[in-house]
Amino acid sequence: MALSPSRIEEVRSSFAAQGLMRHFQASLDEIEEGRSVISIPLSEVVTQQHGFFHGGVVGALADTACGYAALSMVPPGKAGLTAEYKINLISPADGDRLVAVGNVLKPGRMLMVCQGDVFIEKNGQRKKCAVALMTLFVMEGLSSI
């Protein structure tokens, strides 16, 4: 379902305020209720020792895509905080673009559980390279942590 313009603005502002995502040259490609897609190009700031995308980057992107998928369903005035995530790296992230898709599996009032699927693109071919599960905690505000 499409989000309201004000909620989209809120999500985009939050995304733009993330130094990490800016540094990664990340783009928020899609955002709708319960789902987001984020991607980043290969660059020297995201590599491990073999020149592939770093496993930590794959995890960070999955976490972020899940976070915004969840944030799209958090009631107005509340905030979301990643409680934990787990990621399995199933193929080397050897390519020129990394794409993370976050989907809310369970939109609870206090806890949201999301699945992240990460794909690596190389020469126009897309392959799944990681899968993640993430738990987000819905808060009254940052002071309630």
Rounded to a whole number of angstroms, the minimum distance from the CB of residue 81 to a second copy is 8
Burial class (CB in 10 A: 0-12, 13-18, 19+), 30: middle
Report how far residue 134's alpha carbon sits from residue 122's, in angstroms, rounded to the nearest whole number.
27
Mapped onto helix, strand or coil, the DSSP state of residue 58 is helix
- Could you tell me which residues are beta bridge partners of residue 28? 38
Rounded to a whole number of angstroms, the minimum distance from the CB of residue 5 to a second copy is 20
Q: Which residues contact 54 (CB under 8 A, 6 or more apart)?
A: 46, 47, 48, 93
Give 18 or 27: the residue with its C-beta nearer to a second copy: 18
Q: Does 8 bind a second copy (CB under 8 A)?
A: no
* Interface characters, 51-90, with a second copy (x: CB under 8 A): ---xxxx-xxx-xx--x-------------xxxxxxxxxx
Report the residue from 12, 23, 122, 126 that binds a second copy according to the rule CB under 8 A.
Answer: 23
Q: Does 119 bind a second copy (CB under 8 A)?
A: no
Burial class (CB in 10 A: 0-12, 13-18, 19+), 106: exposed
Q: Which residues bind a second copy (CB under 8 A)?
A: 14-15, 17-20, 22-23, 43-50, 54-57, 59-61, 63-64, 67, 81-92, 105-106, 108-111, 113, 115, 128, 131, 133, 135, 137, 142, 144-145
